[in-house]
Amino acid sequence: MSSRTLAVPVFRDDELSAALTGKALVASLLREQRKLDTAATRFSDWHEDGDSPAMERHYRQLIPTTQPQRGEQYAFEVKVDDCTGCKACVAACHSLNGLDDEESWRSVGALISPGGDGYQQTITSACHHCEDPACANGCPVLAYEKDEVTGIVKHLDDQCIGCSYCILKCPYDVPKLNVRLGIVRKCDMCTARLAVGEAPACVQACPTSAIGIRIVPRVTTPTNSPLLPDVIGSDYTRPTTKFVSTRGIPNAARAADAGRLQIEHTHWPLVVMLVFTQVATGLFFAAAIVQSKNLVWTANGFLNAGLAASVMHLGQPLRAWRCFLGWRRSWLSREILVFGAFAASGMATAVFGLPAILTAIIGLVGVACSVMVYVDTRRPLWNRGMTALRFLGTTVIAAAMVSPYLAASILAAKLFWTITPWVAKQDTHASLMHWVALPRWTGSYILTALLAVVALPLSPIIGAALSLAAEMLERALFFKAVRAWRMPGI
Amino acid sequence: MLNALNTAPFRQRIGPMTRQLLLEPGNFGLGKVPANSKPVSVKKAICGYCATGCGLKIHLNAEGQAVNLTPDPDHPVNIGMACPKGWEALTPLAAHDRATHPLLQGRPVDWPKALEAFCDNFKAIQSRHGKESVAFLSTGQIMVEDMAFLGSLAKFGMGMIHGDGNTRQCMATSVAAYKQSFGFDAPPFTYADFEESDVLVFIGSNPAIAHPIMWQRVAQNPHSPEIIVIDPRATETAMAATQHLAILPKTDLLLLYCIAHDLICRGCVDSAFVEAHTTGFNEFADFIQDYDPRVHLPAIGLRRVVFDRCVDAIARGKRVSMWWTMGVNQGHQATRTAQAIINLCLMTGNIGRPGTGPNSITGQCNAMGSRLFSNTTNLLGGHDFTNAAHREKVASALDIPADSIPSQNSWAYDQIIEGIHQGKIKGLWMIATNAAHSWIHQDTFAEAAKKLEFFVVQDMYATTETARLANLILPAAGWGEKEGTFINAERRLGVSRKVSSAPGQALADFSIFRLIADAWGCGNLFRSWTSPEAVFRLLKKVSAGQPCDITGMVGYEMLDGHGGLQWPFTGSDLLELPAKSDGQLPSRSERRLFADGKFFTPDQRARFLFEPPQNLPEAPDEAFQFVLLTGRGSSAQWHTETRTGKSAILRKLYPDILLVELHPEDAARLRIADYSQVSVETRRGNVRARARVTTTIQPGQLFLPMHHPEVNRLTLAVFDPHSRQPGYKACAATIRPT
**Do A422 and A352 share a structural domain?**
yes
CATH code for residues B103-167+366-549: 3.40.50.740
Is A415 within a domain? yes
Q: Phi/psi zone of residue B675: left (φ > 0), alpha (ψ -120 to 50 degrees), beta?
A: left
User: Does B696 lie at the interface with A, CB-CB under 8 angstroms?
Assistant: yes
- When CB atoms are compared, the residue of A104, A185, A207 closest to B213 is A207
DSSP A87-100: -HHHHHHHHHTT--
Chain A residues 179-218 with a CB less than 8 Å from chain B: 181, 183, 185, 190, 192-193, 196, 198, 204-205, 207-209
Interval B668-697: pLDDT, tens: 999 999 999 999 999 999 999 999 999 999
- Contacts B518 to A, Cβ<8 Å: 21-22, 25
pLDDT at A183: 98
Interval A387-419: pLDDT, tens: 999 999 999 999 999 999 999 999 999 999 888
For residue A162, what is the DSSP state? -
pLDDT at A3: 41
- The one-letter code for the residue type at B463 is T
Interval B319-342: pLDDT, tens: 999 999 999 999 999 999 999 999
pLDDT at A11: 52
CB contacts < 8 A, A to B, total 304
Determine the residue of chain A that is closest to B29 in CA distance. A53
**Do A158 and A118 share a structural domain?**
yes
**Do A235 and A297 share a structural domain?**
no
Domain B626-737 in CATH 2.40.40.20? The answer is yes
Region B368-379 average pLDDT:
96
Chain B residues 266-285 with a CB less than 8 Å from chain A: none
pLDDT band with cut points at 50, 70 and 90 for residue A424: low
Interval A441-477: pLDDT, tens: 999 999 999 999 999 999 999 999 999 999 999 999 9
Answer yes or no: do A53 and B29 touch at CB < 8 A. Answer: yes
Answer yes or no: do B498 and A32 touch at CB < 8 A. Answer: no
Interval B453-506: pLDDT, tens: 999 999 999 999 999 999 999 999 999 999 999 999 999 999 999 999 999 999
**Do A240 and A296 share a structural domain?**
no
* SS3 at position A150: coil
> How far is CA B166 from each of CA B152, B231, B400, B645, rounded to the nearest angstrom?
18, 24, 28, 19
Residue that finishes a domain, picked among A206, A227, A255? A255
Interval B155-203: pLDDT, tens: 999 999 999 999 999 999 999 999 999 999 999 999 999 999 999 999 9
Whole-number Å distance between alpha carbons of B164 and B374: 8
DSSP B522-557: -GGGGTT--SHHHHHHHHHHHHTTSTT--TT---HH
**Do A363 and A229 share a structural domain?**
no
Is A30 within a domain? no
pLDDT band with cut points at 50, 70 and 90 for residue B588: low
**Do A426 and A318 share a structural domain?**
yes
Whole-number Å distance between alpha carbons of B557 and B553: 10
Whole-number Å distance between alpha carbons of A104 and A127: 11
Answer yes or no: do A114 and B664 touch at CB < 8 A. Answer: yes
Instruction: Assess whether pLDDT exceeds 70 at residue A425.
Output: no
3-state secondary structure B152-164: HHHHHHCCCCCEE
Instruction: Assess whether pLDDT exceeds 50 at residue B69.
Output: yes
A303 and A283 Cβ atoms separated by less than 8 Å: no
pLDDT at A401: 94
CATH T-level fold of B2-89: N-terminal domain of TfIIb (2.20.25)
**Do A238 and A145 share a structural domain?**
yes
User: Does B28 lie at the interface with A, CB-CB under 8 angstroms?
Assistant: yes
Instruction: Assess whether pLDDT exceeds 90 at residue B525.
Output: yes
pLDDT at A423: 62
**Do A217 and A122 share a structural domain?**
yes
pLDDT at B6: 86
Determine the residue of chain B that is closest to A190 in CA distance. B23
- When CB atoms are compared, the residue of B30, B57, B111 closest to A53 is B30
CATH code for residues B172-360: 3.40.228.10
B101 and B108 Cβ atoms separated by less than 8 Å: yes
- Contacts A17 to B, Cβ<8 Å: 514, 530
Answer yes or no: do B497 and A43 touch at CB < 8 A. Answer: no
B715 and B441 Cβ atoms separated by less than 8 Å: yes
Answer yes or no: do A36 and B31 touch at CB < 8 A. Answer: no
The runs of H, that is alpha helices, within B399-434 are: 413-421
pLDDT band with cut points at 50, 70 and 90 for residue B583: very low
* SS3 at position B688: strand
pLDDT at A41: 42
> How far is CA B286 from each of CA B256, B260, B261, B267, B347, rounded to the nearest angstrom?
15, 11, 10, 15, 14
* SS3 at position B415: helix
Region A208-219 average pLDDT:
94
Is A50 within a domain? no
**Do A192 and A315 share a structural domain?**
no
Average pLDDT, chain B: 96
pLDDT band with cut points at 50, 70 and 90 for residue A224: confident
Answer yes or no: do B65 and A36 touch at CB < 8 A. Answer: yes
Query: What is the percentage of chain B residues whose pLDDT exceeds 90?
Result: 95
- When CB atoms are compared, the residue of A40, A81, A115 closest to B695 is A115
Cis peptide before B705 (omega within 30 of 0): no
> How far is CA A6 from each of CA A14, A40, A77, rounded to the nearest angstrom?
21, 22, 63
Is A8 within a domain? no
Region A1-24 average pLDDT:
61
Determine the residue of chain B that is closest to A58 in CA distance. B80
Number of domains in chain A: 2
Interval B386-413: pLDDT, tens: 999 999 999 999 999 999 999 999 999 9
Residue that finishes a domain, picked among A193, A220, A255? A255
**Do A288 and A248 share a structural domain?**
no
Interval B692-734: pLDDT, tens: 999 999 999 999 999 999 999 999 999 999 999 999 999 999 9
ipTM of the assembly? Answer: 0.96
Closest CA to B269 of B259, B225, B613: B259
Strand A72-79 versus strand B41-46 pairing type: unpaired
Instruction: Output the domain CATH number for residue A168.
Output: 3.30.70.20
pLDDT band with cut points at 50, 70 and 90 for residue B576: confident
Interval A333-381: pLDDT, tens: 999 999 999 999 999 999 999 999 999 999 999 999 999 999 999 999 9
Non-local (6+) Cβ contacts of A470 within 8 A are: A411, A415, A445, A448, A449, A452
Residue that finishes a domain, picked among A255, A279, A304? A255
A171 and A191 Cβ atoms separated by less than 8 Å: no
* Cα angle for residues B541, B543, B548 (degrees, 5° grid): 150
A284 and A276 Cβ atoms separated by less than 8 Å: no
pLDDT at A1: 38
B187 and B492 Cβ atoms separated by less than 8 Å: no
* Cα angle for residues B51, B54, B57 (degrees, 5° grid): 145
Total count of residues recorded for chain B: 738
Instruction: Assess whether pLDDT exceeds 50 at residue B215.
Output: yes
Instruction: Assess whether pLDDT exceeds 70 at residue B578.
Output: no
Answer yes or no: do A102 and B649 touch at CB < 8 A. Answer: yes
Interval B595-650: pLDDT, tens: 999 999 999 999 999 999 999 999 999 999 999 999 999 999 999 999 999 999 99
pLDDT at B574: 85
Quote the domain boundaries for residue A134. Answer: 57-255
Query: What is the percentage of chain A residues whose pLDDT exceeds 90?
Result: 87
pLDDT band with cut points at 50, 70 and 90 for residue B5: confident
Domain boundaries, chain B: 2-89, 103-167+366-549, 172-360, 626-737
Cis peptide before A488 (omega within 30 of 0): no
Is A317 within a domain? yes
User: Does B243 lie at the interface with A, CB-CB under 8 angstroms?
Assistant: no
Instruction: Output the domain CATH number for residue A373.
Output: 1.20.1630.10
Domains B2-89 and B626-737 belong to one CATH topology = no
Is A274 within a domain? yes
User: Does A82 lie at the interface with B, CB-CB under 8 angstroms?
Assistant: yes
pLDDT band with cut points at 50, 70 and 90 for residue A15: low
Mutation pick from B2, B23, B698 vs chain A, by most beta carbons of A within 10 Å, is B23
Region A301-309 average pLDDT:
98
User: Does B536 lie at the interface with A, CB-CB under 8 angstroms?
Assistant: no
B703 and B597 Cβ atoms separated by less than 8 Å: no
- The one-letter code for the residue type at B141 is Q
Non-local (6+) Cβ contacts of B282 within 8 A are: none
**Do A272 and A251 share a structural domain?**
no
User: Does B700 lie at the interface with A, CB-CB under 8 angstroms?
Assistant: no
Whole-number Å distance between alpha carbons of B106 and B471: 7
**Do A250 and A144 share a structural domain?**
yes
Answer yes or no: do B17 and A490 touch at CB < 8 A. Answer: no
For residue B242, what is the DSSP state? S
Answer yes or no: do A15 and B530 touch at CB < 8 A. Answer: yes
Interval B287-297: pLDDT, tens: 999 999 999 99
